[in-house]
Each structure stands twice: as C-alpha cells, then as structure tokens.
Structure 1
Amino acid sequence: MPPEMPSQPLSFLDGLIVLLFIGGSLLIGYFLSRRARHSTDEYFKGGGNMGWFMLGTSMVATAFAADTPLALTGWVVTKGLSQNWFWWSMVPITMLGVFFYAPLWKRANPQTDMELVYQRYSGRSANALRVGKALWLAFPFGCVNMGWVNKAMTVIINYTIPEFPRLPLVDSLMLWLVVATPLSSQVDPQFREAIQSGQLQPMEIAYEHGLLRQPAFWSAYQSGAYGSSDLSENNDQARQRRQEGWESLALGERHALDQPRAMQGVPPEAVAEGWDAFELTHQIYLISSTVNQYKVLFLLFLVVVAYTAMGGLWGVMVTDFIQFWVAMIGCLVLAWLAVDRVGGLESLFSQMHDLYGSNRAGAMMALFPQEDAASYGLFTRPEFWLLILVFWWSYAFTDGGSFFAQRMLSARDERQAALGYLWYGVAHYALRMWPWLLVGFVAAVMFPHTAYPDGGMPSGALAEAGYVRVMLEVLPTGLLGLMVAALFAAYMSTISTWVNLGASYLINDVYRPFLAPIREQRIRQQKGQQDFAFEESHYVRWGIVATLLIALAGILVALFMNTVSDAWFFLAGFNGGIGVIYLLRWYWWRINAWSELFCLLSLLGLSLMMYALKDATVAQSSVVLWEGTALAIPVASLFDFPYSLLVTVPLSVLLALIATWMTPPTDLSVLKAFHRRVQAGGPGWRTIHRLVLQESPGFVAHSPLNVRSLLLWILSSAGVCLWLIGLGKLIIGDAFVAEPSFPSFWLGILLLVIGSACLIAVACWFPRKAPGDNPSTS
C-alpha cells in the first residue's frame, strides 16, 4: 500500500527557493517595463537588437515546457524510447530553417510573422488570411499549446503542493469553476448538485482527513487497482485488496466500506446508487484535488502574466534565459541522483529486464522501433517511417514561423537570427533531452508500469507523473526546491512566450490594422480633430489587455485535456500539410493568399470529417494495407496520428495547389517589392526577377539557395542526429542487445566524433557576414 505523503512535500527551505525564483521573475519584468513601454516594437520585438545566444536560448526555453519531461517519461513505458522520433524527425526541417529561411525572415522584418502576409500577398484575400490566421494562432493553436503545458503543470502541482493553504475566496471561485466546467466530468451529477446547493463541502472533508496527500494512490485507484466500487462484482481477492486500500486511508479507520451514506458531512442524497465509501471518498478527492491544482495554477499564471505584461518580449527573453539554465541544471542534478538511487546504469537496466522481460524491455529501450513493437503496444516501424518520410516537411511552421519567427525578428541582423536558430537546433535535439529520459528510465523501475492483479494497466497520466514522483523520492531538501523552481521555470518560459505572441497577433494583426482605424475615424468625427491618431502607448495598453485575454483562454483550454501526449498528437494531426505551403511561399512567386486559406480550410474540414467518421464502419475495419510488410497499416488507423497524415497531407496540398492555379496571382507590384526586399531567388522567382531587372538593371538577389547553404544544412542535420544517437548508444550500451555485432560504447564514441566534426565544419564555414545584411536594391 502506498505510504502516506507528508502534508507538504516541500520543506520551508524548498518553498523559499521557489518563492525567491518567482519574485525574481517579477522583478525582471518590472525593471524592463519602462523599456518595453516605449513602443510596440520594443514590446513585441525587443527593439530588434538581440544577440544569437540570447534569442536561441529563449527558443530552447520556450520549447522546454513543463509538459516535455512528463510526456517523455510516460513514453518510456507506454510507447517506448523510439516514440521520441516524433520530435527527433524535425531535425532536418529545423536546420533547413537556419540556412534557407532565417535570413529571409530577418530581411522581411515584419512586426509579427502574420504581418508577412501583406508583404507577400495582396487584395482582400490577404486581409482575410491575416485576420483568420492571427485569430487561429492566438486562440485555438496557441491556447492548445498553453493548454497542454497547463495540464502538465497541474500534475506537478498535484504531487509537489498537494495541500496549498486555504484561500477562502480563491477556493470558492475555483470550486465553482470546477463544478461548472468539464473539469468535473468524472464526478457524478447528483454529487455535483449537492456541492452547488451548498449541502456538501468537499474541501473541508479532504483537508480534514488528508485525502490530497496521496496523488499516486488515487491515480492507481482510477486505473482500477482496487477493483470495482460495486462490491458484488469483485472476487474475494479484489474485495480484500479494496478493503486494504480503504483501511489505509484516515477515513477508512472511522467508516465501514459498505456504508457510504453514514459518512459525516455527506448528505445521503449525494451518494449515487452502487457506491461504497471508497468511491464516495474518491469523488471528494477528484473535486478537491482539482480545486487545489487550479488554485495554484491561477496564482502562478498571475505571476507569468504580470512580468509578461510589464516587460514585453524583453521581459520574456531575459527571464527565459535565466529560467532555461536553472531548469537544465536542475534536470542534470535530478538525472544523476536518480540513476545513483537505483544503483547505476547497469543495475537500472538489469531491473528493467527483470520487471518487463528481456523482449519487452529491449523493445522499450530501442532507439529505433523493433519488429515486435506492435505486440507490446509500442511505437511501430510504419509510424516511424511516416514521421521520417512525411511529417517533418509537412507539419505547421516548417519555415520557422510562430515564436521562432518572433525571436528571429528580434535579432540584431540576419546572421544573428540564423546563429540563434542553429543554437536552438543543437541544444533542443542533441543536448537537453537525455537527462529527462534517464529519469524516465528510473521511473520505469521505481514505479513499474505493469498490470494490476485484475489485468488492468496504469493510466498514461500516471506514467507521465513518474518524473515528478522520482523527483520527490530522490532529491534532498534544497535541491527539491531547486527542481520545483526549474519546472516552474519551464512552465513560465513557455506560457510567457505564447501569451506575448498571442497578444501580438491580436494587436498587430487584428486590432491595429482593422479595428483601430475605425475607432480613430469615429473620434475624428466626434471631436473635429482630423489629424487624430492613437499614440503607441495606446497599443501597448491594449497589448496588456490582450495578454490577459490570451492567458485566461489558455487555462480554459486545459480543462478539456486528458494527457499531454494526446494533445501533442491532436495538434500534429490537424496541421499536417500546411507546412508544404509555408515552405513554398518563400521560394515560388505563384503561391498566393488563397493557397494558404484553402490549405487551412481543407485541413479543418478533413480533420472534422475524420473525427466524425472515426466510429463509423470504416474505422472498425480489419483490412490492413500492405499487409505482411514493414509498412503494414490498418485502415482503421488512418483516423489517428500519424497515419492520418496519409490522408490530410496529399489532399490539403492538392486542394491548395488547385486553388493557386484557379485564382489570380498576387499583384505584381507586391511581388516585385517582396523580391527586392527578401531576395529569396531561385527558379521559383525567375519570372519576377526578370521584371525587377527591367526596372533596376543592377539589382542582385543574394539568395540562400546555393551549394554552401546546402552543404551546411546536410552537415548540421547529420551532426545533430549523430550526437543524439551517439549519446543514446553511450548511455544504453549493449544492455538490451543479446549479441551485438559492434560494441555500442565504441559506436557511440564514433558517432559523437563524426557528429562533432560535422558541427565544427558548420561553425568554420558559417558565413561571417550574411550577404543580405546590406541588400542591393539599386
């Protein structure tokens, strides 16, 4: 039976470290607030004077969210190590962005990546695209990203601060929110009614009896570890297990398991038919723990919004920089102590063999999916090949848009933008993830993901919580506070970025170009001031309001999510295809606003259609495409990611290209101006280049499309991939290989040496001065 946790896992010293860290973040926002309020350029772009190390680290910090270590820990036991190709497969497109797109973004230099729409397209279709994409990226896309980060943070809060001090007003507000939203979807309706009517006070019961101190215990309960609440459905062994579980609780010492209506403080009408006292207590826990999680999340969110609203992008990037190094140091220390706790790597892998069996453990720990992976429910070879062959070049921001573009636009020049993106690629893929995975390996041993006595399996959410459970188990006082601060740092850096970015979309792409002119015209007519125009401070104030709006929306979206990785796959499936159009818009003049619009609308329609048909006959089909081969794909799987890419990518791109040819091209004056400014060059702009030369015979386009950029792309992609695989070989070695043909240790050393040589070559051949820094426009 799980031992009872202390009322607060964090000691006074731990809590003090966390509070000092949060206070420091607020001070940074305050000190940078005056600088940020000078203009929207300072607020949303940091004045455009950032160096590569600062902006690249900020990118890594944003991508290192609180959700990432949790999801990777869960994958170790639920999908296997090879599931990480979901993001490892993105190495080539990231490096493509370094050499072929980062310079173009800096040359275009829009206020936001959405403002690029006006530089590249023309007419009403450009207006529609800019507003539609800005709203889409600010709310559904951005808020889903914030939603899964918030979801992960609730898990961290549930384990590290299970009993936050009571705050009557905030508690009442959160209780109302929980009962009135999908957060209480697992709670019985008549139980909710008793809370809404005031007959039942779940927080009082939970705090009095310490119900919130065993989150892992209750997660196991939800997975079926203690049998059914209907005692008649349990066999003798299940009844005994349930009785022991009930008696381990403080309430179990006072109340009989089969007499739930006798529990003090609970009106009899709140108890549903078929419940025993264990299930009733579980319902109280569900409500109370959710209130506690969102109470802390709400307070933490206020801190993030405060320094983001005060400091703008400067506040975000400076805190990102500090938070990243705090987070990485904390993760490295945790990985070291966790491995030491289980006796070192050799002992760790030996225990995995014993717990999961040689075959399953080998499949779980393989860097590449094994042939028998499907039989264990792990990541399979067809899924791997779909990510390698389709996903990386078709998903969402293939050209470095969104917060990547925001960071690159803040760079001092295009060379700093490219170097920052390169540093992000190396740190993001090759360096930061192995400490998380090491903790995931330890969690697989300390908290085995094995079947319960009745055959049920622990939930994916419980597997993801393994990272936090290891942290609480192995870290001493002080270091635990540092690690909690590190996870808070990861959370805050990501949320602050998405909040600031979403606000910039709303202000610069919706309010300023479309709504503010209407308000200005109305004021001119009312006051008779024909030259009236809003000052920059007006837009900064509305930017703060937009920041608060985006922040609230991010919390609300988290209410509808189950696990972090499920949200990742949902968003990845919805955006498969638009990446092709994002790549083409820079290097082919014929792409127009309709191309993007039709691709986005077709993805929306296809996603909704596949969701609606998921439970239809075709989704239940037993037909397997290419059966008997390594690419065997069940037809029913086409409705789930990544197999859905086989439908969404070709159809959305085809419809977009049809729309391209059936609609007028962008106005020639816009295309010529874009070519002069951005100088993408290449065959796709040859037609426009001829027209520009007729007007400016001396014009020279400094295109990134050259042999040097191609070689640098290949070398950097190879270097990063060799490093991440080489480190894996060094760490795992031959622990799960019966007869290795070549020792993994020496293979890892060889891969690291070759990878280092590739990255050193990139550093030596990287242009000392970007040719487009002083573009020719004569």
Structure 2
Amino acid sequence: MDIQTLDYVIIFLFFAIVLGIGIYVSKKSGKSSSEYFLSGRTMPWWLLGLSMVATTFSTDTPNLVTDLVRSNGVSANWGWWCFLLTGMLTVFVYAKLWRKSNVKTDLEFYELRYGGKPASFLRKFRAVYLGVLFNVITMSAVTLAAIKIGGVMLGLEPWVTVVAAGLITVVFSALGGFKGVVYSDFLLFFVAMAGAIGAAFYLVNLPEVGGIEAIMQNDNVKDKLSILPDFSDKKALITMLIIPLAVQWWSSWYPGGEPGGGGYIAQRMLAAKNENHAIGATFFFNIMHYALRPWPWILVALASLVIYPDVASISEAFPNVPADKLGHDLAYSAMLTKLPSGLLGIVLASLVAAYMSTISTQLNWGSSYMVFDFYKQQINPNATEKQMVAVGRLSTVVLMVLSAFLALAMQNAMGIFNLLLSFGAGTGLIFILRWFWWRINAWSEITAMFSSGILAILLETTSLRSFLFASETGLFPDWSELPFIMVVTSIIWLTATFMTQPESKEVLQDFYRRIQPGGPGWKKVVDEAKADNNDVSQGEGKWSVPSGLTAMLLGVVLIYTIMFATGHWIYGKTTSALILTGVALVSGILLVRVWNRMKDNIL
C-alpha cells in the first residue's frame, strides 16, 4: 500500500490535536472524581450526542457490518438495527429517570433501588462483571479490528498495531478523563464521518466496481441488496427480523444498547446539564447511529463483493495476513487499500479516530466502575478525591493491557457479538421493569445475571447446543437459541422474585420519592406511604410513560423510514424513496406534538 507524505502528515496532525486536548483538560479533570468521570455534570446535549455517536463509531463496527452484508445481505443488520427500539425507549422514558437519580454510575442505582447485602453484592459484582469482563471483551473486539486494518493497510504485525494504537489511546484517556473523551469526540465525529463517506463515494465509483448501478446488477450482489429479508425464506425471516424485533431488543443486554439505558450511554445522560439535555443527547445519537451512519459501510461492503467475492480472493490479495485473522470482515480494510493519497490519510485518521473514541470511552466508563463501585465500596470507603482519580488512571491502564492481550488471541468480531447477546439474554426485561414494578428485588437481577451467563457458557462449550438446536435432530429449531435462553432465564428470575422477600418499605418509598417513576406498578407503595402519613408523591402531574411510549413508537417510525428512504434514494428507487420520506416527515411532525404535550405533563 502506497502511503504518501501527505497521508502521514494528516495522521500525525490528528494524533497531535487529540493528545493536545487530553493534556489541556488533564489539570481540571484531575481535580475531583466527579470532574474525571462526569465533567461536573455540565455537558450540553449536542456535545454529549456527538460523543455517543463517535463512541459507537468503532473500528470493529464497519468490519461487523461488512461481515453481515457479505454473509447474509443488508437485511442481516437487523441484528443490531433492532436496538433502535431500546434506544427510543431510553430517550422518551428512561433518560429523565436516570438524570433524576443523580448517581455517579448506573451501578450506584442498585443501592438506590434495592437494599441490604444483596444490593451491595450486586453493585460490586457487576462492577467487575461489566467493568472488567464485558468491557475487556468489547475493547478487545475493537482492537481486533484495528489489528486487521493495520495488517491489511499497513502490513503491521498484530503486536505492533496493539502497542502503537493502545499506547497513545491509554495516555490520552488517563490524562483527560471524561471531559477529554467528550471534547475529543467532537473532533473524532467529523473526522470519522468524513472518512467513511469519502471512502464510500470513491470506492463505489472505482472503474473495476463501476458505480452503484453496476453494483446492483452484479451477480455477487443482487441477492444481498434488500433491506428486509426474503419473506419466502422462513428461517431467514425468523432469525434476521422476527427474533430481533420481537425478542432481542428488550430481552438482551448489549453494550450501547442496554434495555432501560445503562453503561456509557447512562454515563453521558448523568453528565448532562439537566433532564432535557439528557433526552436531547440520546435522541440525536439514535438518529445518527441508525438512520444515516450505516450506509457508507454498507456501500463499501457491497462494492467489496465485486472485487473480492469470497474469503479466498481476500487471502490471495493479502497473503501476509495470518490465516486465523481471515474472514469476510477483512474486506472493508481490503477495499480501503485502493484509496488515493490524501483521502487515504483522512480515512486512516478516521479509523484511528473511531478506535480512540470507542476505547477511551470504554476505559473511562469501566474505570468509573472500578473507582466508585468497587474501590470506594469494597477497599477504601474513606478514599479522597485525589486517591480516586489516581485509582481511575491506574485502572485505565490495566484495562487497556488486558484487552490488548485478549485481542491478540481473537479471530472474528461476529462471534463476539453473538456471544455477548447470549450472555445478556433474558436480563433485559428486568432492566426495563425495575423502574416501574416495586416487586422486583436484588435477587431478581442476581439470578437473571447468573442463569443467562451459565446457559450461554453451557451452550457454547458443550454438546448441549447440538442436542437442543441441531437443524435436523435437535429438540428445538436451530434459530430458537436466543429465545430459549430468554425464556429459561425469565422463568428463573421470576421464580426467584416471588420466592424471596420484597425490598423494605423504607427502600421502596425512598426510591419513589427521589425518582417519581409513577404508574400502577408502584400503587401499593404509594398507598402504603399515604397510610403512614408519608406522602412520597411530588405534584399531581399526569404519568408521562403512556405518552413516552407513543413518542417512542413515532421515533422508531421516523428513524426507520429515514433509514429506508436513504437506502432507496441510493438504490435509485425514487417512488418508494419519496413515499418513505413523506412518512418520515409526518411521523416527525406528530412526534414534535406528542413531545410538547409530554413536557407539560411530566411528573
């Protein structure tokens, strides 16, 4: 690959600016733990929204999308597009609740909602479970993508990529804290978008590709263009569309798509100036993340099928890539090697931006768990602000090292994605209901977490999967693994809920007084409080959740129709594109009206 001086100048200039941001904000970020992890809760919606988009603009995401498109067509993206429903629920129902809680991390919520030793255990355990295990796996998937990009585009050995990319990112993250992450995300967003769009436009119009019309007529591409799966293919319809939309979005916990909000999305909502800024940030993120951003990656994936129709052709073109790193996901990096100087520098900088944004966010978020939910809770309850910042910076480095070693042992991001979905299957319903049903207790979450994890491990490492889900001889259809885990896990946690004592009256009443969740699921608690002359309600406003659900559905229609319309405009299907654009406009107008009514009636 012919990288010119101009490309190197662009890349090094980008590095210098990002590191400069980290150094500039390091002094203020180190003043307190609140500054280091939440930037003093003063962030505006637009900056937090851009940060959310930049964070999920990861190096492994275009690789994942490429793998999905090349393997099963554009419609295979419903495996993650379905999480828009989760996102819209967070926007119009949960964003204001999270901001009202005023906790430092979403795990602090456990000792607000639950009480006693089970709540304390749950908070500490999930700090390690999510902050270390899940976080390291997620970062290693991102680093794996960087390894593949470095190998194909720059001819770098895996360890060289890991050291070079990881060292700069961990220094920047440890210095700047959350403010450094968010400020740099503003730059990273525009660099990443420019690189993705520029690459897609150039590569689709390569002479050997021939433009969008030629792509659509290519025999390798024709059957992969549809945004919806083939309705005559029952298995494809169930696995690619029905299960994601009917089950997966609410039942599975996945980083960035947590039912009820959570993780680094919650961290940004908690850092917002107020509830309205938290809502605005999450809404902007969902529009950009689902409606517009996937199409540049999809176009490159489709173009790659013209030049590299299979994995063997990729291997032939890049013989130096290790066999254990070969896969359809490598086609994205392979296509980028065809970019001209200048644009190549911008794209490489955009990939670096995507990597740094995601990893720095994961590091700061995971470190916040280690500091607030483990170190201060378990090791040093009297820790000073200076000590907590120091532990935050140390844990940032440790998490980076762990993820780097794991990345060197990994092969494919698609398998990681599916494993994470299985681990979280069945837990999502708790995260949705715990705000609105008083009977859920700490044991509900503990049993759901362990049962889903154990089931996922058993199905991954034993012959149990073959016995239950083999296509011809299994007890159940081979597409039913995720629903199976969800159903079994739900039965287990519901049983545990009713076999254990509910949370104490004091804990439940304090939670209601602080959050004001409203609804019939809390009627018993509110009535008991009134009987004790302890009115926990604040104001007589109308319960906002029904309007929130209406807004959620309108938001889903708005964003999906924008996504569909964008695809149809690209495909040249003018009539259907116009119809979809019209539906998007109508749903947008209705959404504004519903949201204006909600603001007047929110409790």
- TM-score when scaled to structure 1? 0.72
What's 1:398 paired with? 259
Q: How does 1:559-570 map to 2 (within 5 A)?
A: 559-570=408-419
The change in CA–CA distance for 1:308 and 1:613 in structure 2 (over 3 A counts) is: same
Equivalent of residue 87 in structure 2, options 69, 91, 94: 94
Instruction: Report what 1:36 is aligned to.
Output: 29
Shift of the 698–122 alpha-carbon distance from structure 1 to 2, 3 Å rule, reads: closer
Unmatched 5+ stretches in structure 2: 314-322
Q: Are the structure 2 counterparts of residues 347 and 699 from structure 1 closer, same or farther at C-alpha, using a change threshold of 3 Å?
A: closer
* Higher alpha-carbon deviation: 681-690 or 363-372: 363-372
Q: 1:119: how far off?
A: 0.5
CA-based RMSD: 2.3
Report what 2:356 is aligned to. Answer: 492
C-alpha displacement of 1:470: 1.6
Per the alignment, residue 317 of structure 2 pairs with: none
Q: Among residues 572, 583, 591, which one is paired with 1:754 in the alignment?
A: 583
Aligned residues of 2:148 and 2:325 also touching (Cα < 8 A): no
Q: d(CA) in 1 for partners of 2:537 and 2:512? A: 14
Aligned to 1:695: 534
Please give the alpha-carbon distance, in whole angstroms, between the structure 1 residues aligned to 2:298 and 2:365: 30
Shift of 1:635: 4.8
What is the aligned counterpart of 2:387 among 518, 538, 559?
538
- The match for 2:318 is none
Task: State the Cα deviation string for residues 17-75 of structure 1 (Å, max 9, x = none).
Answer: 11111111111011111111121111111110111111111111111100111121222
Match of 1:436 in 2: 297
Instruction: Decide whether aligned partners of structure 1 residues 464 and 608 sit closer, same or farther in structure 2, where only a CA change above 3 A counts.
Output: closer
Match of 1:343 in 2: 210
Q: Secondary structure at the match of 1:559?
A: helix
Structure 2 counterparts to residues 351-750 of structure 1, below 5 A: 352-353=218-219, 356=220, 361-370=221-230, 379-396=236-253, 397-449=258-310, 461-473=326-338, 475-517=339-381, 533-614=382-463, 618=467, 621=470, 623=472, 635=475, 638=478, 643-693=480-530, 694-696=533-535, 699-700=538-539, 705-733=544-572, 744-750=573-579
In the alignment, the residues of structure 2 paired with residue 719 and residue 617 of structure 1 have an alpha-carbon distance, to the nearest angstrom, of: 41
Q: How far apart, in 2, do the equivalents of 1:652 and 1:616 lie?
A: 16
Check whether the contact 2:35–2:178 (CA below 8 A) recurs between aligned residues.
yes
Question: Which residue in 2 is equivalent to 1:322?
Answer: 187
Q: Please state whether the residue corresponding to 1:680 is helix, strand or coil.
A: coil
What amino acid is the match of 1:123?
G
Distance 2:291 2:373 in 1: 35
The CA distance in 2 between the partners of 1:53 and 1:95, in whole Å, is 17
Number of aligned positions between the proteins = 586
Q: Identify the structure with the greater helix proportion.
A: 2
C-alpha distance after superposition, 1:513-544 (max 9, x if no partner): 22103xxxxxxxxxxxxxxx542111101110
Pick closer, same or farther for the CA change 1:344–1:698 going to 2, 3 Å.
closer
Of all paired residues, the percent bearing the same amino acid is 32
Contact preservation (8 Å) 2:526, 2:536: no
2-side partners of 1:586 and 1:415: how far apart?
Answer: 19
Give the aligned partner of residue 188 of structure 1.
Answer: none
SS of the equivalent of 1:664 reads coil
1:127 to 97, 120, 123: 120
- Counterpart pick for 2:167 among 302, 310, 314: 302
Deviations 1:311-349 (A, max 9, x none): 111011111121011100111111111122133211222
TM alignment of 1:288-299, pairs within 5 A: 292-299=157-164
> Contact 1:107/1:772 (CA < 8 Å) preserved in 2?
no
User: In 2 relative to 1, CA 408–704 (structure 1 residues): closer, same or farther, beyond 3 Å?
Assistant: farther
Shift of 1:729: 2.1
| CA–CA separation in structure 2 for the residues paired with 1:559 and 1:508 | 30
C-alpha displacement at 1:551, in angstroms?
1.0
Candidates 333, 338, 346, aligned match of 2:198: 333
* Contact 1:14 1:477 survives alignment (8 Å): yes
1:137-216 equivalence runs, <5 A = 137-163=130-156
Mean Cα deviation higher: 577-586 or 707-716: 707-716
Residue 7 of structure 2 is matched in structure 1 by 14
Higher mean C-alpha deviation, range 78-87 or range 462-471: 462-471
Letter in 2 for 1:386: I
Give the residue type in structure 2 aligned to 1:466: A
Distance 1:373 1:301, change over 3 A: farther
Q: Aligned runs of 1:61-80 on 2, under 5 Å? A: 61-80=54-73
The 8 Å contact of residues 60 and 324 in structure 1, kept in 2 or not, is answered as yes
CA deviations over 1:650-708 (Å, ceiling 9, x no partner)? 11111111111111111211111110111111011111112333313873365754443
Q: Does 2:176 correspond to 1:311? A: yes
Deviation at 1:384, TM superposition (A): 2.3
Q: CA deviation at 1:616?
A: 7.2
Contact 2:419 2:456 in 1 (8 A): no
Q: What corresponds to 1:186 in structure 2?
A: none
Q: Deviation digits for residues 601-638 of structure 1, max 9, x if unmatched? A: 111221222224337762585547xxxxxxxxx65764
C-alpha distance in 2 between matches for 1:697 and 1:30: 46
Contact 1:680/1:701 (<8 A) preserved: no
Equivalent residue letter for 2:494: L
Matched to 2:22, the amino acid is G
Query: Which among 101, 106, 125 is matched to residue 99 of structure 2?
Result: 106
Contact 1:99 1:712 in 2 (8 A): yes
CA distance in 2 between partners of 1:35 and 1:22 (Å) = 21
Separation in structure 2 between the aligned mates of residue 305 and residue 723 of structure 1, nearest angstrom:
37
Change (3 A) 1:379 1:484: farther
1:350-376 CA distance string (max 9 Å, x none)? 2x22xx3xxxx44322211125769xx
The match for 1:184 is: none
Return the alpha-carbon distance in structure 2 between the equivalents of residues 622 and 462 of structure 1.
24
Q: Distance in 2 between matches of 1:17 and 1:339?
A: 24
CA distance in 2, matches of 1:536, 1:708: 41
Query: Residue 430 of structure 2 contacts residue 445 of structure 2 at CA under 8 Å; is this kept in 1?
Result: yes
> Structure 2 length normalisation: TM-score?
0.92
Question: Residue deviations 1:568-591, cap 9 Å, x none?
Answer: 111111111110110111111111
Q: Which amino acid aligns with 2:586?
A: A
Residue in 2 that maps onto 1:27: 20
Structure-2 separation of matches of 1:759 and 1:651: 39
Segments of 5+ residues of structure 1 without an aligned counterpart are: 1-5, 164-291, 453-457, 518-532, 625-633, 734-743
**SS class of match (1:656):** helix
User: How far off its partner does 1:391 sit?
Assistant: 0.4
- Paired with 1:537 and 1:702, the residues of 2 have a C-alpha distance of 43
612 and 369 in structure 1: CA distance in 2 versus 1, 3 angstrom threshold: same
> Do the aligned partners of 2:26 and 2:175 also contact (CA within 8 Å) in 1?
yes
Aligned to 2:480, the other structure's residue is in SS state: coil
Cα pair 2:541 2:601 within 8 Å, conserved: yes
Change (3 A) 1:650 1:615: closer
Q: 2:60 & 2:293 partners in 1: Cα distance?
A: 14
Contact 2:38 2:271 in 1 (8 A): yes
Q: What SS is found at the alignment partner of 1:695? A: coil
